[in-house]
Structure 1
Amino acid sequence: MHQEQPPLETEPVAAGPRPVRCRLCGRPLTGAASRRSGLGPACDAKLHPAGPDIRTRRHEVEQDALPGF
């Protein structure tokens, strides 16, 4: 009464690490830091832009003296 089922076909397992893709654009990630974060360098820069460099904004400004001094 019990019939045997045919063996399930499985895809061959590739040796090596599983390919990790960027969560934003889908490109394969190769660097260890990119694989950990899940974002490629270009996409990471889009989501987390570097802050402005405050040194470039500083400059001397001529000011008038405060009244009373």
Structure 2
Amino acid sequence: MNDQPLPDRAPEEPAPESTVRPPVRCRLCGRPLTGRASRRTGLGPACDAKLHPDRPDIRPRRHDVEQEPLF
């Protein structure tokens, strides 16, 4: 056998768990989420639009009405 010592090497360390993020998937359809806001809510943009549609525009409409002048 070879009696020479082995070179010193640092043991390979696994990546810290803080840098490895598990994939986050949409709660409705299961697709992977990539956006920060999507990951925070747990819904993709399409599924979020399905569950939370935009509110209808209910602002009062102004229109002219013919009337006699008040005195």
Which TM-score band (shorter chain)?
0.5 to 0.7
Which protein is richer in helix relative to its size? 1
Structure 2 alignment gaps of length 5 or more: 1-14
Could you tell me which residue of structure 1 aligns to residue 45 of structure 2?
41
With the length of structure 1 as denominator, give the TM-score of the two structures: 0.58
Work out which of the two has the higher radius of gyration on C-alpha atoms and give 1 or 2. Answer: 2
Q: Which stretches of structure 1, 4 residues or more, deviate above 2 A after TM superposition?
A: 13-16, 61-65
Counting aligned pairs with the same residue, the percent is: 65
**Within the alignment, does 1:58 sit opposite 2:68 as a pair?**
no
Matches within 5 A, 1:3-42: 16-42=20-46
> How many residues get paired?
52
CA RMSD of aligned residues (A): 2.8
2 CA distance for matches of 1:29 and 1:59? 43
